[in-house]
């Protein structure tokens, strides 16, 4: 029963951000398609659908553009700060935001794949991602932080290791993540 609950929760962690994103996109699409149908701007349902899709993509792109501008960036920061401190909402918004930022946008976190020697006696290495090279803020010298994702899961563990136990991998980070998460069975391009 514990394994079932564990798998169910891991499934929710994967499923919830995807469903939230798809729901928002679907609602926006339906709204814009409905506006065109209601006002009779275009009589053809296929054109209503295409216009709704174009307006949805355009709106999301425009929001991204506005968020990157200084004035609007400050405005979005204030809204984001309120969302991150609102009861209940922060437990949904913050993890989704952190997870999204780790893979996309300006703050990609998993961009340097490495091999970490975790068992020198047996010469066992694990694949992970270098996440922090300078740990002086935590008063840790001569060590780095490496995130080791688990296979078939969105979870993992953070380890602190000496730099000399790392081997940088010259591979695309997305391909390396796909390889680790698949348990080594996916093809690497």
Which domains, and CATH codes, for the chain?
2-103 (no CATH), 113-181 (2.30.30)
CB hemisphere CA count around 189 (13 angstroms): 5
Length of the chain: 189
**Cβ atoms of 158 and 131 closer than 8 Å:** yes
Question: What was the pLDDT predicted at 115?
Answer: 93
Residue 25's nearest CA partner among 65, 63, 55, 56 is: 56
Q: How many CA atoms lie within 13 A of 141 on its CB side?
A: 0
Cite the beta strand spans of the chain per DSSP E: 113-119, 124-132, 143-149, 156-162, 166-168
Percentage with pLDDT > 90 across the chain = 6
Give me 28's structure tokens.
């926006």
Q: How many CA atoms lie within 13 A of 115 on its CB side?
A: 10
Q: Residues with Cβ < 8 Å from 35, sequence gap 6 or more?
A: 41, 52
- CB-based contacts of 3: which residues, under 8 Å, 6+ apart? none
Phi, psi of 108 (to 5 degrees): -60, 135
Could you tell me the two tokens for 12? Answer: 């929710």
- Grouping H, G, I as helix, E, B as strand and the rest as coil, residue 177 is helix
The pLDDT tens digits for 135-163 are 888 888 889 999 888 887 767 888 999 98
pLDDT in tens, 31-65: 777 776 666 665 666 776 777 778 777 777 777 77
* pLDDT of amino acid 51: 74
Summarised one tens digit per residue, pLDDT across range 81-130 is 777 777 777 766 776 676 666 655 555 667 889 999 888 888 899 999 89
For position 45, what pLDDT does the model report?
Answer: 67
Angle between helices 2-39 and 45-68 (to 10 degrees): 110
Residue 20, both tokens = 């939230």
Tell if the pTM clears 0.75, that is, is over it.
no
pLDDT at 116: 92
């Amino acid at each position: 029963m514990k394994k079932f609950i564990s798998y169910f929760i891991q499934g929710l962690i994967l499923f919830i951000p995807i469903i939230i994103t798809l729901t928002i996109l679907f609602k926006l699409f339906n709204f814009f398609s409905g506006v065109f149908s209601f006002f009779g701007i275009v009589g053809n349902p296929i054109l209503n659908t295409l216009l709704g899709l174009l307006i949805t993509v355009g709106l999301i792109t425009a929001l991204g553009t506005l968020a990157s501008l200084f004035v609007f960036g400050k405005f979005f920061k204030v809204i984001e700060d309120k969302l991150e401190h609102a009861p209940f909402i922060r437990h949904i918004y913050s993890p989704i935001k952190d997870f999204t930022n780790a893979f996309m946008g300006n703050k990609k976190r998993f961009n340097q794949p490495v091999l970490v020697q975790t068992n020198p006696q047996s010469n066992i290495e694990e694949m992970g991602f270098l996440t922090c090279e300078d740990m002086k803020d935590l008063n840790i010298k001569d060590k780095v932080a490496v995130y080791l994702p688990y296979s078939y899961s969105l979870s993992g563990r953070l380890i602190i290791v000496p730099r000399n136990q790392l081997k940088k991998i010259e591979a695309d980070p997305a391909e390396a993540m796909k390889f680790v998460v698949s348990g080594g069975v996916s093809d690497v391009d």
